[in-house]
Chains A and B, each alone.
Chain A
Amino acid sequence: MNKSDSDESSNRQSAKTGKRLGNKTAGGVAVVVLITVYSFVQPLLNERMGWNLPGLRQNSHGQIVTDSGPTNDPLQSTTTKANESASPAANDEPGHSAKTDNQKSKTTAKQQTKPRQTTSKRGPLADRISPDNNVSSKSPRGPPQTSQADEDLLYGLLREVSRDRYVSPAGLQYGPGSEEGHRLEHLRRHVKDIPNRPVHGVFDGDMEGALKTIDQAYERAKQGTRTTKKVDRGRIIYTVDMGKRIGFIGGQSGSRKGNPLARRVRLVLEGTNVITAYPIN
Chain B
Amino acid sequence: MSPHHSIDYCPICGGGLCGIRICGLSSLPQAAARRGDSIHGLIVCDECEAIWLEPNISSDHAYPDPTNSICPICSQPLWGDNSRWANREDIAALGWSAAVNQELDVNSDEGIA
Name A's B-contacting residues (CB within 8 A): 175-179, 181, 194, 196-199, 201, 230, 232-235, 237, 239, 266, 268, 270, 273, 275-276, 278, 280
Contact yes or no, B113 A196, CB < 8 A: yes
Given A179-B1, A268-B47, 4 extra CB contacts under 8 A: A175-B67, A235-B12, A235-B48, A273-B66
Which residues of the partner chain B approach A199 to less than 8 Å between Cβ atoms? 15
B73 at the interface (CB under 8 A from A): no
Q: List residues of B (1-31) whose CB comes within 8 Å of A's CBs.
A: 1-2, 12-17
Which of A197, A233, A239, A278 interacts with B2 by CB under 8 Å? A197
Contact yes or no, B48 A275, CB < 8 A: yes
Contact yes or no, B47 A278, CB < 8 A: yes
Which residues of the partner chain A approach B82 to less than 8 Å between Cβ atoms? none
24 CB contacts below 8 A, A to B, read A175-B67, A177-B67, A178-B69, A178-B79, A179-B1, A179-B79, A196-B2, A196-B108, A196-B113, A198-B17, A198-B104, A198-B106, A230-B12, A235-B50, A235-B63, A237-B48, A266-B13, A268-B48, A275-B48, A275-B49, A276-B13, A276-B47, A278-B15, A278-B47
Which residues of the partner chain B approach A235 to less than 8 Å between Cβ atoms? 12, 48, 50, 63
B90 at the interface (CB under 8 A from A): no
A194 to B113 Cα, complex, angstroms: 13
B92 at the interface (CB under 8 A from A): no
Chain B nearest CB, measured from A140 CB (Å) = 39
A278 to B12 Cα, complex, angstroms: 14
B107 at the interface (CB under 8 A from A): yes
A176 to B68 Cα, complex, angstroms: 8
**Complex A-B, nearest 3 residue pairs according to Cβ-Cβ distance, in ascending order:** A276-B47, A268-B48, A179-B79
Which residues of the partner chain B approach A270 to less than 8 Å between Cβ atoms? 63, 66
Contact yes or no, B67 A197, CB < 8 A: no
B93 at the interface (CB under 8 A from A): no
Name B's A-contacting residues (CB within 8 A): 1-2, 12-17, 46-50, 62-63, 66-69, 79, 103-104, 106-108, 113
Chain A nearest CB, measured from B105 CB (Å) = 8
A179 to B64 Cα, complex, angstroms: 12
Chain B nearest CB, measured from A66 CB (Å) = 66
Which of A176, A196, A234 interacts with B67 by CB under 8 Å? A176
Which of A176, A196, A237, A266 interacts with B106 by CB under 8 Å? A196
Which residues of the partner chain A approach B63 to less than 8 Å between Cβ atoms? 233-235, 270
Contact yes or no, B66 A237, CB < 8 A: no
Contact yes or no, A177 B66, CB < 8 A: yes
A276 to B63 Cα, complex, angstroms: 13
A235 to B1 Cα, complex, angstroms: 22
Contact yes or no, A276 B48, CB < 8 A: yes
A199 to B107 Cα, complex, angstroms: 13
Which residues of the partner chain A approach B68 to less than 8 Å between Cβ atoms? 177
Contact yes or no, B79 A280, CB < 8 A: no
A278 to B63 Cα, complex, angstroms: 19
Which residues of the partner chain B approach A176 to less than 8 Å between Cβ atoms? 67
A213 to B46 Cα, complex, angstroms: 21
Knowing A178-B79, A278-B47, the reply to whether A237 touches B13 (Cβ < 8 A) is yes
A275 to B17 Cα, complex, angstroms: 15
A194 to B1 Cα, complex, angstroms: 10
Contact yes or no, B67 A201, CB < 8 A: no
Shortest Cβ distance from B79 into A: residue? A179
Shortest Cβ distance from A176 into B: residue? B67
